[in-house]
Amino acid sequence: MKIAMLQMEIVAGDVAGNKNKGLALVEEAADKADVIILPEIWTTGYALKNVAQAAEHIDGPLMTQLAGIARKHHVNIIAGSVPVSRNGRTYNTTMVIDRQGTIINSYEKVHLFSMYGEEHFFAPGTKLGLLSLDKMTAGVAICYDLRFPELFRSLALQGAQAVFVPAGWPAARGHHWRTLVQARAIENHLYICAVNCVGEHKGSPFYGHSLLVDPEGVIIAEGDDRETIIYGEIDPARVAGARKDMLTFADRRPDLYSC
Ligand SMILES: NC(=O)CCC(=O)C(=O)O
């Protein structure tokens, strides 16, 4: 399974410019990958005051355009995250579109990043993102979710072989990013495909360094700090191999954990 990670430079508040750029990058990668993934809130960036106005319904014009590209190029698209309006509230939402152009999953960020005040602009999701993608069982999480190992463990226990993570992670905590992504992969014996943006938030740069990490925690593809498309490959069969030798799932003691 070939993955294209669109490590895009996002300009906060330039919704039209970001959309054009993101769609052009998707078109560029469309014939070179089985799965394309964009970063977190790539249409608005962290101009959070704009998200309610920029939010579309799940079947709005942007998703219709992305679904058209998916159908035309027969490619799966994990549409980063975008603000989506549902029942009068705005959610930080990752939509997954399959090769037929059908939205097969929609995950609303459950852990809102209070350090950036996300909870004032988004409502929190209430369920995890688990889906089947070209016969692979995959999970979806968004950025700050990386700090919550319970979420990844839960996806793994439900069969996830890879977790796709759109992100907007700053350079100031770059060392956390790398360590958390590798730890989530190692402890759950699965692939993590974490796609970050570049650009800046209130003068401080985003980290870039999108990562594709295998079930042993080895980095198999990584971006630098510029806008770029990073390609890498996932082999779902390797997950069973990693889980066969290291029996951490069987050796767990959930009877002792209170969290
Ligand atoms: N967009 C985010 O969720 C940022 C998370 C972050 O910067 C952190 O956890 O640190």
Tell me the pLDDT tens digit for each residue of 193-218.
999 999 998 899 999 999 999 999 99
Query: How far does the centroid of ligand 1 lie from the alpha carbon of residue 43, in Å?
Result: 17
Please choose, from the candidates 183, 246, 242, the residue with its C-alpha nearest in 3D space to the C-alpha of residue 211: 183
Q: What is the distance of C-alpha 161 from the center of its chain? A: 15
Query: Is the distance from CB of 133 to CB of 35 less than 8 angstroms?
Result: yes
Quote the pLDDT of residue 258: 79
Please choose, from the candidates 144, 155, 233, the residue with its C-alpha nearest in 3D space to the C-alpha of residue 193: 233
Tell me the pLDDT tens digit for each residue of 44-93.
999 999 999 999 999 999 999 999 999 999 999 999 999 999 999 999 99
Quote the pLDDT of residue 201: 86
Beta pairing partners, 152: none
| Burial tier of 174 (Cβ tally within 10 Å: 0-12, 13-18, 19+) | middle
Residue 19 has pLDDT above 90, yes or no: yes
Quote the pLDDT of residue 200: 92
* Residues taking part in catalysis: 40, 109, 143
Residues of the chain above pLDDT 90, percent: 97
pLDDT band of 243, cuts 50, 70, 90: very high
Query: How far does the centroid of ligand 1 lie from the alpha carbon of residue 176, in Å?
Result: 10
CA-to-CA distance for 163 and 190, rounded, in angstroms? 7
Quote the pLDDT of residue 118: 97
The CA-based angle 251-254-255, given to 5 degrees, is 115
Q: Evaluate: CB of 41 within 6 angstroms of ligand 1.
A: no
Quick count: other Cβ atoms within 10 Å of Cβ 10?
29
DSSP label at 108?
E
């990670």: which residue's tokens? 5
| Burial tier of 185 (Cβ tally within 10 Å: 0-12, 13-18, 19+) | buried
Q: Which atom of ligand 1 is nearest to the CA of 170?
A: 7
Query: How far does the centroid of ligand 1 lie from the alpha carbon of residue 202, in Å?
Result: 14
- Cα 217 to Cα 95, 103, 209, 221, distances in angstroms: 26, 30, 15, 12
Quote the pLDDT of residue 245: 86
CATH placement of domain 2-251: 3.60.110.10
Which of 81, 92, 113 has the most ligand 1 atoms within 8 A of CB, as the residue to mutate?
113
When pLDDT is averaged across residues 212-225 and rounded to a whole number, the result is 98
For the chain, the average pLDDT equals 97
CA-to-CA distance for 241 and 259, rounded, in angstroms? 29
